[in-house]
Structure 1
Amino acid sequence: MTHNPAPERLSFPEADTRLVSALSASFEGDYGKVLLFEGDLELEGGFLDAVARIGSLDGVDLVVITGDLTVSGPIALYGSLPGLYVGGTTRAETLEGGDCEIYIKGGSFTHLVYGDYNSGILETGTVKTPWVINYDHDLRVSAPGARLVDNYGNDGEADFNSENIVESFVAEVVDPEDESIDVPEFLERLRAGLPVLRPEAGGTPAEA
């Protein structure tokens, strides 16, 4: 059985002092209460539900892990709070960000990293993942070897954008009217080990 550290509830200034100003150097918003885990943290299932089983998230603005974070399921943070900071290596099924701020170091994500819309920030060190999808998000991700999907427009640096998404991906994961990826359907196929790219677009089912 994994013995996770009991979290501490600290003010943002207290937590920032503990981390030698690492939080104030990263986060742009104004934050109150921090749920801080000192050391490594291993969680079963989705990140938010698993954290809530250890320490209540009521009134918590940020979750901070000073060591490594390992999650068997997804890290999916679409609300404006809580934000997330990980001082070590992060491993999870996915890393998905919406309205909140997320700052992690290196990591590995089985299926994808996804930034949804333009209210939040998702920043990483160098991570390993097969897919990075950006929907008009402040996405600051270094993922060498990942395929980049611009799900909002026609970013010329992306591997796939509105100009070639419909023709490149299988119909089950495409919204043809918006010329974009249906991310939940895309993720379900990845979880099931099914291909998401058409054969002519390149890549084997394991890669795609």
Structure 2
Amino acid sequence: MTTNPAPERLSFKEADTRLVQALSASFEGNYDNVLLFDGDLVLEGGFLDAVAGIGSLDDVGLVVITGDLTVSGPIALYGSLPGLYVGGTTRAETLEGGDCEIYIQDGTFTHLVYGDYNNGILETCTVDTPWVINYDHDLRVDAPGARLVDNYGDDEDADFGSENIGKSFVAEVVDPEGESIDVPEFLERLRAGLPVLRPGARTANDAASADVALADQVLHLDLSERARSARSPAPAPTAPVFDRTSGD
């Protein structure tokens, strides 16, 4: 059985000194009280409920874990407080950020990383997750193996955006207008092991690459036909035929 460290309630300045100014180097907001877990922390269920069961979150601006954080359920922080800092590796079902600030190092998230709206910040080092969804959030996520969904409609580098979400994803996870993902429904299907993409769905990059390949093929065929025509010899002129039976 894992024994979690007892949390300490510190001022931001005390916690920042303990972490050699790692907090002040990351966080942009002003915070008073910090709930600090010095060491690794293993939690069952959702992050917020599990932490609240260990120590009160009243007046807590930040939850800080100096070691690794392992959560069997989601890390879903949509309120302005508390924010989260993890000094080690983070593992959870999801990492979801709203109005608060979240700063973690490397991590693994079973289903997704999601940034909701533009009041908060979610920053990571390299994380392993299949999906990253951004709705106009300050999302600073390095997830090399993930497919990026732009739920707001202004990221030209996203794999899926307003132009191809409706035709790429199953109807159950798409909003009525067909331009964004219904994140709770999307997550429920992932948890149930059900497909979220339609058969044959392509990312925007895949579709663009296919269009370029098709255009190149058409151009190649056209030029080949032109070259073949240019190489074909002109027909020999036909000699005139004289009627030698005439009386002339």
TM-score, length basis structure 2:
0.81
- For 2:89, the equivalent position in structure 1 comes to 89
- Decide whether the 8 Å contact of 2:91 with 2:109 is kept in 1: yes
The 10-residue stretch of structure 1 (175-184 or 68-77) with the greater mean CA deviation from structure 2:
175-184
Shift of 1:93: 0.0
- Decide whether the 8 Å contact of 2:15 with 2:36 is kept in 1: yes
- Decide whether the 8 Å contact of 1:151 with 1:161 is kept in 2: yes
Runs of 4+ in 1 over 6 A off after TM superposition: none
Number of aligned residue pairs: give it: 203
Segments of structure 1 that go 5 or more residues without pairing to the other structure are 204-208
Superposed counterparts of 1:1-208, under 5 Å: 1-177=1-177, 179-201=179-201
Query: What SS is found at the alignment partner of 2:102?
Result: strand
Query: What SS is found at the alignment partner of 1:96?
Result: strand
Query: What SS is found at the alignment partner of 2:84?
Result: strand
Shift of 1:155: 1.3
Per-residue CA deviation, residues 100-140 of structure 1 (Å, 9 max, x unaligned), is 00000000000000000000000000000000000000000
Query: What SS is found at the alignment partner of 2:88?
Result: coil
Name the % identity: 86
Q: Distance in 1 between matches of 2:120 and 2:165?
A: 25
Q: Distance in 1 between matches of 2:148 and 2:176?
A: 19
Q: What value does the CA root-mean-square deviation take over the aligned residues?
A: 1.0
Query: What SS is found at the alignment partner of 1:29?
Result: coil
Which structure's CA Rg is the greater one?
2
Shift of 1:154: 3.8
Q: Which amino acid aligns with 2:201?
A: A
Q: Distance in 1 between matches of 2:168 and 2:153?
A: 15
Segments of structure 2 that go 5 or more residues without pairing to the other structure are 204-248
Q: Which amino acid aligns with 2:195?
A: P
- Decide whether the 8 Å contact of 2:5 with 2:38 is kept in 1: yes
Q: Which amino acid aligns with 1:110?
A: T
Q: Which has the higher strand share?
A: 1
Per-residue CA deviation, residues 130-180 of structure 1 (Å, 9 max, x unaligned), is 000000000000000100000000411000000100000000000131610
- Decide whether the 8 Å contact of 1:166 with 1:176 is kept in 2: no
Query: What SS is found at the alignment partner of 1:91?
Result: strand
Q: Which one scores higher on RCO, CA 8 angstroms, separation ≥ 6? A: 1
TM-score, length basis structure 1:
0.96
Query: What SS is found at the alignment partner of 1:70?
Result: strand
Query: What SS is found at the alignment partner of 1:191?
Result: helix
- Decide whether the 8 Å contact of 1:97 with 1:122 is kept in 2: yes
- For 1:206, the equivalent position in structure 2 comes to none
